Amino acid sequence: MNKVSDKWFQLVIRDQNLLSGSSVLRFLEPIVAMLNIRYVLLKDLMGATPGLLGADGTLMTIDTFMKRVGIAAQYDWAFFYLYVFEPGDVADDEDLALIGGADLTVRLVDGAYFYVYGKSGAVLDELQKIHSFSECVLGSLDEFDVPY
């Protein structure tokens, strides 16, 4: 088992389905279940995503989000900040602060990649069983190159 508790990880996973709605939903399902995620903050949402139209900057319950996230032709970019407990007022926080305060963050990049930020060794192990990583980096959060 990976012990990541004192370090952050940044995973890069290439999506063969080019971040289609169904692909993003399938990617998120085991993470949401494993961590018992209950809330998600959406930021920087771009693409053909009618299920989440107008939701940029919105905090949603995970049930609502999971019903809507799969309704998309393709995500170009997005931040999904995942929380077990409802966060305080975080809507105006900078991205690194949001990543640091979330239980896990999934960044959708350029219509082709999942970037995952977290500290849970269990999540890292589970994702390693399911996906091939293009990159896996351990370190402090401010060392990572978060793509924009």
121-130 vs 21-35: helix crossing angle, rounded to 10: 140
Chain segment 72-104, per-residue pLDDT in tens: 999 999 999 999 999 988 867 899 999 999 999
DSSP label at residue 93: S
In whole angstroms, what is the distance from residue 62 CA to residue 14 CA? 24
Q: Any idea where the domains of the chain sit in the sequence?
A: 8-141
- What is the average per-residue pLDDT within 119-141? 91
| Pairing of the two strands 59-61 and 74-83 | unpaired
pLDDT category at 64 given cuts 50, 70, 90 is: very high
Q: Is the pLDDT of residue 6 over 80?
A: no
In whole angstroms, what is the distance from residue 91 CA to residue 116 CA? 20
The better pLDDT of the pair 40, 123 is held by 40
pLDDT of residue 2: 47
**Model confidence, pTM:** 0.93
Q: Is the pLDDT of residue 116 over 60?
A: yes
* 58 in Cβ contact with 76 (< 8 Å): no
